[in-house]
A and B are shown apart, each in its own frame.
Chain A
Amino acid sequence: MKLPSLFRRTPFRLTLLFLALFAAAASAILAYVYFASASEAQARATKDVQSEFDALTAIYRTRGEDALNQALVERTIRGGPYLYLLTDGAGKVVTGNLSVLPFDPGTQTPGMGDWDTFRLTSTDAEGHVVNRRSIGVIMPLRTGGKLVVGEDIGDIEESLARLTQALWMAMGGVLLLGATGGLIISRNVERSMGRLNAVVAAVRDGDLKARAQVRGGEGSGGDELDELGRGLNGMLDRLEASMASIRHAGDAIAHDLRSPLTRMRAKMEVALIDAEAGRVSGVEALEVALSEADHLLKTFNTVLAIARLQAGGAPDPQVFDAADLAADMAELYEPAAEDKGLEFSAEIERGLMIEGNQPFLAQALANVIDNAIKYTPTGGAVMLRARRRSSGEIEYSVTDTGPGVPAEDRERVVQRFVRLDNSRSEAGSGLGLSLVSAVLEAHDGRVQLDEGPGVYGGFGPGLRVALVLQPAP
């Protein structure tokens, strides 16, 4: 199966999305840090320059321009962080470590205490010309000259630039790592998804045996994709089982319908030969053929009934007394049992209200009683009971002293078309108990098969079939 291009794969797209979010968040933090530290540094410098300016202004005000000049000369010689400039009325430099008035005289006439930001051109240790950011404050003097006090804040700018660079590099690294990680995760997820996709594709192409490999086996290990794989495997198990049962039912229907069809065909052919030879009228053979056809129809109807019960549940439910049904069935079947030389007894509690489809439940109980009579040899016994279990459930049970069903086969005999080998010779579609099971399932009930009363005097161990139903609400 062809995988979609890298950018259309979910894990990679998620990685990209997260990286984009991360980059946006990092940029926002960076911008905040930048502006916060820049403005703080500048505010500190401004404060320092202001206090120096205030000190010089005080000297000028109290002692005059010469004293100011004197102070500036001293300060310039002493060195320090500050920049000074004193000009005369003509704009010529009198004192200071600045060579040019930073304020542009053409465009503005700076007033007392005006601030300006400017670039201080100088050369660094290696002789490169650098423009360093500086700030300054100005005071016009009575003589027309100007006093400027400033500070070179190029260091702040430099450290900010270094900080910015470091942050950008860190972000680049994170993005690179993130993208690589995303690719690896994406690759891993894709590998797991690919395995699941391969299973789906194989099943689509008809291989119901394909299963996904999962870590953690049948338990609960592995990640959610393993969980998904387990779910997929479970679904496929179920699907395969039901496909197998459908195929089995199909085979079984074909098998069970082929035998009577074959018999019917043979009988009709013989009858045709006999009739042509004038030996018989053919009426008898036609009657046999009719009865075979009826048997086939009965099988079809039962298959249909089972299918409908399984698909749609029990139709037309009514509340009725399970005891009445049991009593009627006992009355209906007792003569047949006695005719076969079986001892038939019934033990029926009164007042067992249930809700369900009476004809289908009658059919289910009839099938169980009929089986008991059919498989119990002459001299045996069949007992029908209807009672309320201590759990409150209503139970019909039919116990016989026939050969019973081996424990390992009990689950199997309620499946469709299963007849145990030793009962193949008996008439019947092999659908009797399957219909019983379908009827009970449609009523939220169940069928339980157990051993009968045990082996005694050549009889047994017998079979006990219980139909367990919910009591009517």
Chain B
Amino acid sequence: MRVLVVEDDAEAATAMVRGLSEAGHEVSHAIDGAYGLLEAQRGGYDVYVVDRMMPRLDGIGMVETLRKDGDQTPVLFLSALGEVEDRITGLKAGGDDYLVKPYAFGELIARVEALARRRETGGVQTVLKVGDLEMNLIARTVHRGTTEIDLQPREFQLLEFLMRHANQSVTRTMLLEKVWEYHFDPQTNVIDVHISRLRSKIDKGFDKAMLQTVRGAGYRLEA
């Protein structure tokens, strides 16, 4: 996918471009909000990664302008400001996700891919299918092959998120934010425990383990 990185810190930008390219994405870089706006208006991008604080035109201003022009491309804000208000300001301005510096590459890439994917599967689906795993969102049932899998409500939500982002890395922080809808540091591996319970339900007794652990990033549901 095509990613536009708008970041004034040259070193941070180089590292980001490198990391996203390594992950197989086509990356362009703009050195501030004004250039970012020009580049974005040329079109063709799947995700914008925008730094909050930049000279000339800052990230908020740039995204507000884009949204006013009708550009609905997903935006991931990056910021050294981690305060709750900053996150809310970013999301209100039209950002879709918010990542606080410093971040792990795994986190950045997972979030960029999740944003791009969300766009692809924008339509209303009633059934999700990943490999032989099938989820019916109306009946709230899950089958793997012919076997029905009984899930707790939270496990169902967790699996739904993983299926919507199948073949893509999702981080523990993303799961806490998107499935539990909390923004805090749980200190210990609480998410891992939930994942391992889900894993024992969907993978136990089957030949192929679908729910993979990705080192340094998080998890991936593979078909």
Contacts and interface: CB of A to CB of B under 8 A. Distances in A.
B186 interface: yes
A363 B193 CA distance: 19
Interface in B180-199: 180, 182-190, 193-194, 197
Interface in B203-217: 215-216
A308 B86 CA distance: 14
A335 B102 contact: no
A124 to B, nearest CB: 102
A328 B190 contact: no
Contacts of A328: 180, 182
Secondary structure dominating the interface of B: loop
A306 to B, nearest CB: 13
B88 interface: yes
Interface stretch (B22-30, B62-70, B77-85, B163-171): B77-85
Interface string B139-161: 00000000000000010000000
A374 interface: yes
A360 B215 CA distance: 29
A335 B197 contact: yes
Given A287-B216, A308-B83, A366 B193 contact: no
A339 interface: yes
A335 B184 contact: no
A331 interface: yes
A366 B216 contact: no
Interface in A356-409: 357, 359-360, 362-363, 366-367, 370, 373-374
A359 B84 contact: yes
Q: Which of A332, A359, A362 counts the most B-chain CB atoms under 10 A from its CB?
A: A332
A432 interface: yes
A333 B180 CA distance: 12
B216 A332 contact: no
Contact of A367 (B82, B85, B187, B194): B187
Nearest to A325: B182
A311 to B, nearest CB: 12
A332 B88 CA distance: 24
Nearest to B152: A331
Contacts of A362: 182-184
B123 to A, nearest CB: 30
A428 B182 CA distance: 21
A316 B89 CA distance: 11
A336 interface: yes
Interface in A187-202: none
A428 B185 CA distance: 13
A298 B102 CA distance: 10
A112 B185 CA distance: 119
Q: Which of B84, B104, B183, B184 counts the most A-chain CB atoms under 10 A from its CB?
A: B184
A185 interface: no
A316 B187 contact: no
Given A328-B180, A332-B180, A315 B188 contact: no
Contacts of B197: 335
Interface in A332-367: 332-333, 335-336, 339, 357, 359-360, 362-363, 366-367
A69 to B, nearest CB: 120
Contact of B82 (A294, A301, A316, A370): A301
A370 B188 contact: yes
Contacts of B194: 332, 335
A32 to B, nearest CB: 75
A301 B102 CA distance: 11
A374 B184 contact: no
A297 interface: yes
Contacts of A374: 188
A344 to B, nearest CB: 12
Contacts of B183: 359, 362
A403 to B, nearest CB: 19
Contacts of B104: 290, 294
Contact of B184 (A333, A336, A363, A373): A363
A335 B85 contact: no
Contacts of B82: 301, 304
Contact of A335 (B84, B182, B185, B193): B193
Interface in B45-87: 82-85
B187 A366 contact: yes
Contacts of A366: 184-187
Nearest to B189: A336
A366 B183 CA distance: 11
Given A297-B102, A359-B184, A336 B190 contact: yes
A465 to B, nearest CB: 15
A359 B216 CA distance: 25
Interface in B10-46: none
Q: Which of B186, B197, B215 counts the most A-chain CB atoms under 10 A from its CB?
A: B186
Nearest to B102: A297
A373 B85 CA distance: 31
A333 B83 contact: no
A316 B182 contact: no
Nearest to A291: B216
B187 A432 contact: yes
Contacts of A298: 185
Contacts of A432: 187
Contacts of B190: 332-333, 335-336
Given A297-B102, A335-B197, A336-B193, A359 B182 contact: yes
A40 B40 CA distance: 109
A370 B185 CA distance: 11
B215 to A, nearest CB: 8
A297 to B, nearest CB: 6
Contact of A370 (B88, B187, B215): B187
A333 B184 CA distance: 14
A331 B215 CA distance: 26
8 contacts: A304-B82, A315-B84, A315-B85, A335-B193, A336-B188, A359-B84, A362-B182, A362-B183
Interface of B: 82-85, 88, 102, 104, 154, 180, 182-190, 193-194, 197, 215-216
What 5 A-B pairs come out closest when comparing CB atoms? A363-B184, A335-B193, A370-B187, A359-B183, A336-B193
Interface of A: 287, 290, 294, 297-298, 301, 304, 308, 315-316, 328, 331-333, 335-336, 339, 357, 359-360, 362-363, 366-367, 370, 373-374, 428, 432
